[in-house]
């Protein structure tokens, strides 16, 4: 039977979340341990099978509207008959790890695979951004890039992204809090802050990210950790952290993390911590006392 398959992965924003919306630098890396696969098959009706919803697309919950809009648009673009859509994803939803962009990327790849149409990077990015704009209002583009391709990226909105080689004698630890994040709400909160208080904190985040890029290039992990700590303090001041994320940051630092901060949109979701190898196990064990959802990425 004819089918189309698309696969993508999660992402982690290392530095620059929110400030990237205001044309400041951001650094993000792929998180390949968590993946999303979309399969499409011919069907009598447009239907979906997923952990979030199973049934006809026309009856799907509003939460899925951005991805259903993309499905309908791609189906019309290729003039296709009804399809069955199956989503298998290990990327937690609303955790700041790029679940919506990863799903949009995998779906786009599945449609192009189904129709045996070549898909260039620019076209893939534009399709994902279309879904992300509906989901988040004003997406920077960093999620679309990092969930679709296998590189770390240095990115400034409105300019061509640049791949970044990250090779550090350290491990990045990710811990998911029980609160679901909301990128759209967080972006709106930051916009309100900027409107009332000016753009100083955003510019400082951008400056910290530029310094972080230099640290990565020189493998200066101790300074890099300090920059992460400073970034978290600013994100707290922007009112997008939570007591739980702050608690996870404190736990990581207490167990000798070089630096720790929230990642992604905030208001829930995940924290990341940079650690030297000899401290990884103690940080992971301590965080697992708080949440079962703890992962790590070796950066060497």
Note the pLDDT tens digit of each residue in 103-112.
999 999 999 9
The predicted structure's pLDDT at residue 175: 98
Q: What is the DSSP string of 228-248?
A: HHHHHHHHHHTT---HHHHHH
Residue 153: which of 246, 35, 257, 14 has the closest Cα? 14
> CB-hemisphere CA count at 13 Å for 90?
10
| Angle at the Cα of 119 from the Cα atoms of 114 and 124, rounded to 5 degrees | 105
Residues forming beta bridges with residue 88, ordered by sequence position: 37
The whole-angstrom separation of Cα 63 and Cα 182 is 12
Q: What is the mean pLDDT of residues 202-224?
A: 97
The predicted structure's pLDDT at residue 62: 85
Quick one: CA torsion of 163, 167, 173, 179, rounded to 10 degrees?
-10
Q: What is the pLDDT of residues 137-172, one digit of tens each?
A: 666 677 888 898 888 999 888 888 899 999 999 999
Inter-residue contact 174 to 271 (CB < 8 Å): yes
Residue 183: which of 136, 133, 142 has the closest Cα? 136
The whole-angstrom separation of Cα 125 and Cα 259 is 32
3-state secondary structure of 252: helix
Where along the chain do its domains lie? 4-163, 166-298
The predicted structure's pLDDT at residue 200: 94
Instruction: Quote the DSSP letter at residue 179.
Output: S
Using a pLDDT cut of 90, give the percent of the chain over it. Answer: 76
Given a cut of 80, is residue 264 above it in pLDDT?
yes
> CB-hemisphere CA count at 13 Å for 298?
4
Given a cut of 70, is residue 135 above it in pLDDT?
no
Please, what sign has the CA dihedral across residues 139, 91, 240, 273?
A: negative
The predicted structure's pLDDT at residue 142: 79
The predicted structure's pLDDT at residue 161: 85
Q: What is the mean pLDDT of residues 196-211?
A: 95
Q: What is the mean pLDDT of residues 54-82?
A: 92
Cβ density class 187-224: b for 16+ within 10 Å, e for less: bebbeebbeeeeeebbebbbebbbbbbebbeeebbeeb
Lowest mean pLDDT among 8-22, 245-259, 282-296: 8-22
Q: What is the mean pLDDT of residues 63-83?
A: 92
The predicted structure's pLDDT at residue 110: 98
Q: What is the mean pLDDT of residues 253-278?
A: 96
Provide the pairing of β-strand 83-89 with 47-49: parallel
The predicted structure's pLDDT at residue 33: 92
Helix or strand run (H / E) with residue 162: strand 162-164
Alpha helices in 79-182 (DSSP H): 99-114, 121-136, 142-148
Inter-residue contact 34 to 53 (CB < 8 Å): no
Using a pLDDT cut of 70, give the percent of the chain over it. Answer: 98
The whole-angstrom separation of Cα 7 and Cα 283 is 31
CATH of 166-298, one of 3.40.50.300, 3.30.70.890, 3.40.50.720, 2.40.50.180: 3.30.70.890
Q: Which residue has the higher pLDDT, 53 or 182?
A: 53
Residues 6+ apart with CB under 8 A from 174: 12, 31, 97, 263, 270, 271, 272, 294, 295, 296, 297
Fold of domain 4-163: Ribosomal Protein S5; domain 2 (3.30.230)
Given a cut of 70, is residue 42 above it in pLDDT?
yes
Inter-residue contact 22 to 191 (CB < 8 Å): no
């Amino acid at each position: 039977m004819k089918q189309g398959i698309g696969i993508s992965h999660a992402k982690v924003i290392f530095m620059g979340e929110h400030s990237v919306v205001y044309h400041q630098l951001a650094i993000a890396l792929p998180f390949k341990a968590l993946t999303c696969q979309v399969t499409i098959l011919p069907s009598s009706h447009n239907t979906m099978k997923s952990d979030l919803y199973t049934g006809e697309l026309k009856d799907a919950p509003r939460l899925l509207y951005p991805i259903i809009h993309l499905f309908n648009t791609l189906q019309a673009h290729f003039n296709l008959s009804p399809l069955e859509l199956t989503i298998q994803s290990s990327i937690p939803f609303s955790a700041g790890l790029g679940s919506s962009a990863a799903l949009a990327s995998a779906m786009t790849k599945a449609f192009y695979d189904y129709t045996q149409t070549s898909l260039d990077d620019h076209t893939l990015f534009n399709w994902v951004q279309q879904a992300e704009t509906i989901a988040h209002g004003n997406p920077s583009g960093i999620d679309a890039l990092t969930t679709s391709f296998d590189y770390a990226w240095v990115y400034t909105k409105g300019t061509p992204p640049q791949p970044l080689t990250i090779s550090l004698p350290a491990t990045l630890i990710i811990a998911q809090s029980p609160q679901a994040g909301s990128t759209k709400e967080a972006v709106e909160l930051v916009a309100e802050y900027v409107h009332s208080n000016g753009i100083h904190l955003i510019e400082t985040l951008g400056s910290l990210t530029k310094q972080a890029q230099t640290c990565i290039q020189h493998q200066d992990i101790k300074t890099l950790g300090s920059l992460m700590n400073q970034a978290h303090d600013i994100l707290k001041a922007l009112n997008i952290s939570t007591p739980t994320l702050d608690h996870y940051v404190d736990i990581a630092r207490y167990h000798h993390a070089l630096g720790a901060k929230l990642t992604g949109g905030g208001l829930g979701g995940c924290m990341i911590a940079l650690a030297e190898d000899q401290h990884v196990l103690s940080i992971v064990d301590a965080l697992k006392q708080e949440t079962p959802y703890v992962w790590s990425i070796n950066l060497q």
